[in-house]
Chain A
Amino acid sequence: GAVVSQHPSRVICKSGTSVKIECRSLDFQATTMFWYRQFPKQSLMLMATSNEGSKATYEQGVEKDKFLINHASLTLSTLTVTSAHPEDSSFYICSTTRTDTQYFGPGTRLTVL
């Protein structure tokens, strides 16, 4: 069965607004979650590592003030895209690790008009 869930699956927003994406680990506690972004025809690129109870670690080139990550509990991490612009349109996927293997959520398609 599914290990990770995401909500929403699709979101369309206007330029300048903020969007929050939720990632939940199912049936187990996840101290670490990962956020990826995937553009069409490209592979997954790690954006940040989310740690429960502490600040997220961002990859080089990812604006931490634009992509706010909160990991307030052992089962929930959220990614907020602030002041979204059309170039932020992408497929956002979260994952968590269970016995050395990363399991991915179903993804969230963000479209910024």
Chain B
Amino acid sequence: EDQVTQSPEALRLQEGESSSLNCSYTVSGLRGLFWYRQDPGKGPEFLFTLYSAGEEKEKERLKATLTKKESFLHITAPKPEDSATYLCAVTGGGNKLTFGTGTQLKVEL
């Protein structure tokens, strides 16, 4: 059974204070690892897809990396508008998307 574990559960940063979110996974035959952002009361918003170890993707202040066991979402110089819950999910051989429980990020002025 595919499993995804995210840490920390919650993270409070000062504006400009860079940090990383972790996503550990076990999956039989990784087809893709996905990062989403979810704001309260809204559906997840797609951020990145990573397919193989060593791959990296960047978008504004966010950078996602992937190894054979985990993925990191690096946030550089965050702003208050980056506050959200960040979800990690994987797709394995079964073609279903398995989500972690998310990291709730709060960026303060």
Mark A residues whose CB is within 8 Å of B. Answer: 4, 6, 34, 42-46, 49, 91, 93, 95, 100-107, 109
Contacts and interface: CB of A to CB of B under 8 A. Distances in A.
B34 A44 contact: no
A102 B43 CA distance: 12
For chain B, which range describes its interface: under 10, 10 to 19, 20 to 34, or 35 or more residues? 10 to 19
Given A42-B101, A43-B100, A43-B102, A107 B43 contact: yes
A105 B44 CA distance: 8
Contacts of B69: none
B42 interface: yes
A102 B41 contact: no
Contacts of B100: 43
Interface string B72-99: 0000000000000001000100001101
A109 B41 CA distance: 8
A46 B96 contact: yes
Contacts of A44: 44, 87, 99
B46 A103 contact: yes
Contacts of A101: 32, 34, 46, 49
A43 B99 contact: yes
Given A43-B87, A104-B46, A105-B43, 10 more contacts: A43-B101, A44-B99, A49-B96, A93-B43, A95-B43, A101-B32, A101-B34, A101-B46, A104-B36, A106-B43
B63 interface: no
A88 to B, nearest CB: 18
B106 interface: no
A6 B42 CA distance: 11
A107 B36 CA distance: 15
